[in-house]
């Protein structure tokens, strides 16, 4: 592997770690709300979050690029805050990655929170525990393995991104050129041995991520009746 390969791989890891952290901070409250709410807003919100599952990455990347551009709502907001424009920058990649990987974190977490034994939450409520206390003391510990699995899944999914990072970030060395784009560059240059070396690293990483997910999956939260599904 070349120096450029290692730099691209390091950028991918940095992007994935940053994205996974934000996904946890954003995805856990959303998943808890979706699992508990009876509001009619639940279906529209869940549908919007799930859009990246069915939209081609290039389509999602195009609309995000327009939204982050000088005439888009995000672009106008970042410019008014003195942050400049996000396209073709690392923060822009982070925003796109969070949107793209959000359903891969929210949906497993929603299922985990929905499976927490309701009797435990009711018992906590009778002890005058408020909604937030019930969440932190009962629901979150009961779903801790699913939280870890979602973090691993969000991290691994971000490492493998291609279409959306190409649309939003371009292919700028040491700024937006992640490992998947570096592989693409090697293939375009007919450097198949170098492409194979970097691909093998990502293949090994993906296999380790799947093994970790399988191990974490053995500890699913108890169902509403108190039994594992």
Instruction: Please state, in angstroms and as integers, the Cα–Cα distance from residue 226 to each residue in 36, 118, 126, following that order.
Output: 17, 8, 18
Q: What is the spatial distance between Cα 96 and Cα 157, in angstroms, rounded to a whole number?
A: 13
Judge contact between 85 and 192, C-beta under 8 A: no
pLDDT at 222: 41
pLDDT at 220: 46
- Does residue 69 sit within a domain? no
Q: What is the spatial distance between Cα 82 and Cα 156, in angstroms, rounded to a whole number?
A: 32
Residue with tokens 């508990």: 36
- Does residue 148 sit within a domain? yes
Residue 58, number of CB atoms within 10 A of its CB: 14
Query: CB under 8 Å to 15, separation ≥6 — which residues?
Result: 90, 93, 94, 97, 158, 159, 165, 178
- Does residue 8 sit within a domain? yes
What does each of the 229 residues of the chain score in pLDDT, given as a tens digit? 788 889 999 999 999 999 999 999 999 999 989 988 888 898 999 999 999 999 899 899 999 999 998 989 999 999 988 888 899 999 999 999 999 999 999 998 988 888 877 777 777 767 666 677 777 777 788 888 888 888 988 998 899 888 899 899 888 888 889 999 999 999 998 999 999 999 999 999 889 888 888 887 654 444 444 433 3
- Does residue 67 sit within a domain? no
The CATH number for 148's domain is 1.10.3720.10
- Does residue 183 sit within a domain? yes
Structure tokens at 185: 């560059």
Boundaries of domain holding 176:
3-57+89-219
- Does residue 76 sit within a domain? no
Residue with tokens 């007919």: 190
Q: How many domains are there within the chain?
A: 1
- Does residue 125 sit within a domain? yes
Q: What is the pTM of this model?
A: 0.84
- Does residue 41 sit within a domain? yes
pLDDT at 31: 92
What does the DSSP 8-state code read for residue 86?
Answer: -
Closest to 96 (Cα-Cα) out of 21, 173, 166, 10 = 166
Q: What is the spatial distance between Cα 37 and Cα 50, in angstroms, rounded to a whole number?
A: 17
Instruction: Please state, in angstroms and as integers, the Cα–Cα distance from residue 31 to each residue in 4, 14, 140, 141, 226, following that order.
Output: 38, 25, 11, 15, 20
pLDDT at 224: 42
Instruction: Please state, in angstroms and as integers, the Cα–Cα distance from residue 149 to each residue in 21, 108, 157, 172, following that order.
Output: 13, 9, 12, 32
């Amino acid at each position: 592997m070349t120096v450029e390969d290692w730099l691209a791989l390091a950028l991918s890891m940095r992007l994935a770690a940053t994205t996974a952290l934000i996904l946890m901070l954003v995805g856990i409250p959303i998943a808890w709300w979706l699992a508990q709410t009876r509001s009619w807003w639940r279906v529209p919100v869940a549908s919007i979050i799930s859009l990246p599952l069915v939209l081609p990455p290039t389509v999602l990347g195009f609309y995000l690029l327009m939204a982050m551009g000088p005439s888009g709502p995000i672009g106008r907001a970042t410019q008014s805050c003195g942050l400049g424009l996000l396209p073709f920058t690392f923060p822009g990649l982070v925003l796109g990655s969070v949107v793209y990987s959000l359903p891969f974190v929210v949906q497993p977490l929603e299922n985990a929170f929905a499976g927490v034994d309701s009797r435990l939450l009711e018992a906590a409520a009778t002890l005058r525990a408020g909604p937030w206390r019930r969440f932190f003391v009962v629901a979150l510990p009961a779903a801790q393995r699913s939280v870890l699995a979602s973090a691993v899944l969000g991290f691994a999914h971000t490492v493998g991104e291609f279409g959306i990072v190409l649309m939003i970030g371009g292919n700028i060395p040491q700024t937006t050129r992640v490992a998947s784009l570096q592989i693409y560059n090697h293939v375009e240059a007919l450097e198949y041995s170098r492409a194979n070396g970097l691909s093998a690293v990502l293949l090994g990483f993906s296999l380790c991520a799947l093994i970790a997910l399988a191990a974490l999956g053995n500890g699913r939260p108890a169902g509403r009746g108190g039994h594992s599904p």
